[in-house]
Amino acid sequence: MQLKNHIILGIYSDSAAQALEMAVIETDGLDIQKIHQTAIRPYPHELLEQLHTYVTNKKWDQNLFNTLNHDMTQFFIQESLELIQQIQAQNIQIDLVGLSGHPALHDPQQKLHLNFGDATQIANALKKPVVHHFMKEDINAGGTGSPLLATFWATLCQKMEKPLAIVGLGGVTHMVAIGNVGEIIGFDVGASLALLDNWVYQHTGQELDFNGILAAKGKVDERVLKKLLSFPYLTQKPPKSVRRADFFPMLEQVAGLSTEDGAATLTAFTAQSIVQTQQFLPIKPLQWIFIGGGTYNATLMLQLAQALPNTTTAQKVLPYTQALNAMGFAFITARYLMGLPISLPTTTGVKEPFAGGELTNPE
């Protein structure tokens, strides 16, 4: 099949819900020809409160899911239409949309995955075809559903010295390691910042530990930290993907600590869980590149720098730095169209390279 350039709008929402990312790129699924526009939009406070209620609800609530799915979808549409208008003013026409949605339920063992973000409504409102359900299709093919952007990171880092590791510091921590001759390993490290953010929200009403200030004021409880690091998932060999619900009971281990000490202990847990992943990497990375909201947590980044060689952030070394995950979903949308693999046996555990996704056309 002859490769063709497409102009694609990628829409991405991290599980930490810190912001909605959007990116319009031109790509054939092998290379990125041009970045036309990027945008990051914070979530309205009302939506964040709804999300917090949903995440902390211990029982499935269909009405809550439906309400939040509607509100999230409308937010995606509103922000996307604004970006499309800006792009069209530059005489650029978007061909289609790549939608990650916002994770609502992820259980690869039960072959379940739900996102907030109705692809049919988005396709009709934007009048563009939408490629979506990347995780769901990967799980149906026998994979874990995550991480999905390994081919994107390999493309972005193709001229860099290897081996290297790229770690996404979001609600769930994703890792992709790239070897000297193109080997790619990927897996979910754990539900890390989701725990810290939840702790901070419960005790302060803030959405996150801004700049790691709370953790810096606290003291790590080594006894509790040891218990957290003994969580079975952390020693499970990849491929593996996080069920966030499995991790939230870990907050009970921190329950007796002060706000600051709890933040310090959970921050240390996030850092050490990443350090421990080296046991799964056949070649130790020469460089660790961190992306995502967690890179703005100075306390976390200091701990990572002290424990790992040559730590840096995407802003310092990658050719593109803003809305990277949205770019990634636009990129794998092009790969889906071209029949190029998105998932690999060494990333999500599919039996063979897999170009998964689902296409929804506007009515």
Per-position DSSP letters for 119-145, written without gaps between them: HHHHHHHHTS-EEE-HHHHHHHTTS--
Q: 178 and 276 share a domain?
A: yes
Q: 105 and 184 share a domain?
A: no
| CATH number of the structural domain spanning residue 138 | 3.30.420.40
Cβ count near 104 (within 10 Å): 18
Q: 311 and 175 share a domain?
A: yes
Q: 48 and 16 share a domain?
A: yes
Q: 49 and 133 share a domain?
A: yes
Could you list the residue range(s) of the whole structural domain that residue 299 is in? 158-317
Q: 257 and 288 share a domain?
A: yes
**Is 0.85 surpassed by the pTM of this model?**
yes
**Total of domains in the chain:** 2
pLDDT at residue 319, as a whole number: 86
> Is the residue at 50 inside a domain?
yes
Q: 180 and 245 share a domain?
A: yes
> Is the residue at 217 inside a domain?
yes
pLDDT at residue 58, as a whole number: 75
pLDDT at residue 2, as a whole number: 64
Which one-letter DSSP state was computed for residue 360? Answer: E
pLDDT at residue 93, as a whole number: 96
pLDDT at residue 1, as a whole number: 53
Q: How far is CA 239 from CA 185, 189, 246, 281, 294, in A?
A: 8, 10, 17, 12, 23
> Is the residue at 152 inside a domain?
no
Q: How far is CA 113 from CA 140, 145, 241, in A?
A: 10, 8, 12
| Degrees, nearest 5: CA angle 251-307-177 | 85
Q: 125 and 217 share a domain?
A: no
> Is the residue at 290 inside a domain?
yes
pLDDT at residue 53, as a whole number: 87
> Is the residue at 26 inside a domain?
yes
Name the H helices within 205-348. Answer: 213-217, 222-229, 244-247, 251-254, 259-275, 298-307, 314-317, 324-338
pLDDT at residue 141, as a whole number: 95
> Is the residue at 350 inside a domain?
yes
> Is the residue at 209 inside a domain?
yes
Backbone angles phi, psi at 341, to 5 degrees: -65, 140
pLDDT in tens, the chain (363 residues): 567 899 999 999 977 777 899 999 999 999 999 999 999 999 998 998 898 888 888 788 899 999 999 999 999 999 999 999 999 999 999 999 999 989 888 888 888 889 999 999 999 999 999 999 999 999 999 999 999 999 999 999 999 999 999 999 988 999 999 999 889 999 999 988 889 999 999 999 898 999 999 999 999 999 999 999 999 999 999 999 988 778 888 999 999 999 999 999 999 999 999 999 999 998 889 999 999 889 999 999 999 999 999 999 999 999 888 899 999 999 999 999 999 999 999 999 999 999 999 999 999
Q: 120 and 224 share a domain?
A: no
Q: 131 and 190 share a domain?
A: no
Contact 356, 74 (CB under 8 A): no
Q: 107 and 225 share a domain?
A: no
Q: 127 and 264 share a domain?
A: no
> Is the residue at 150 inside a domain?
no
